């Protein structure tokens, strides 16, 4: 019997909830490493951009020489999953960014930072996500962004009751406004790992 090697994935470990992603991915059987340098990025087949503060991650990515390599990896088709701040970093366009804030880009979306207000305006809700089946996804929104516009090639995976988009997929890129890694929800990470395996074939 031929065993399939565990997918090699990295979590960008410049700032944010890195450990939570590492734990979920490890529980799902992935070979996980933290990524801070270009050589570490080159050794993985997929990358997670964690929640945190998008402007800080942007500044640190430039300071660590990671912005270019991550953009190149995205352009080359590396599967990337961004949660909360990670979704902002994947967006081609952001509104309400701080002056000079950059993204890695790749997702043909416009994302609004802190769309729901400050930390005190955090909330939880159950979302129907057809791509993941039942049961609904219990989603936690913490200073969360919102997808305000999405291009024709972007699949809208989840919306709030009022139709606002909070999860998207485009090719090898996956993004959620919320934090599955903090609620024990593993299906988005499992979907991401399937995307990594698919590209590795």
Supply the residues annotated as catalytic.
84, 179, 181
Peptide bond into 201 cis (omega under 30): no
Instruction: Give backbone dihedrals phi and psi of 138, rounded to 5 degrees, phi first.
Output: -85, 110
Distance CA 36, CA 100 (A): 22
Distance CA 17, CA 105 (A): 21
Instruction: Give backbone dihedrals phi and psi of 107, rounded to 5 degrees, phi first.
Output: -85, 125
Contact, 102 vs 196, CB < 8 A?
no
Beta strands in 24-133 (DSSP E): 31-35, 46-49, 80-83, 91-95, 107-112, 123-127
């Amino acid at each position: 019997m031929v065993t399939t090697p565990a997918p090699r994935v990295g979590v960008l470990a410049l700032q944010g909830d890195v450990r939570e992603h590492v734990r979920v991915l490890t529980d799902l059987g992935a070979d996980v490493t933290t990524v801070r340098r270009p050589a570490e990025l080159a050794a993985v087949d997929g990358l997670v951009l964690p929640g945190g503060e998008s402007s800080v991650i942007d500044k640190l990515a430039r300071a660590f020489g990671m912005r270019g390599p991550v953009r190149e990896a995205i352009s080359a088709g590396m599967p990337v999953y961004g949660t909360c701040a990670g979704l902002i970093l994947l967006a081609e366009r952001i509104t309400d960014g701080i002056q000079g804030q950059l993204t890695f880009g790749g997702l043909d979306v416009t994302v609004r930072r802190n769309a729901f207000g400050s930390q005190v305006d955090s909330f939880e809700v159950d979302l129907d996500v057809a791509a993941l089946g039942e049961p609904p996804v219990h989603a936690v929104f913490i200073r969360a962004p919102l997808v305000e516009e999405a291009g024709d090639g972007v699949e809208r995976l989840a919306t709030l009751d009022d139709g606002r988009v909070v999860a998207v997929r485009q090719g090898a890129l996956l993004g959620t406004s919320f934090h599955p890694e903090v609620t024990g929800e593993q299906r988005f990470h499992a979907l991401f790992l399937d995307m990594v395996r698919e590209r590795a074939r």
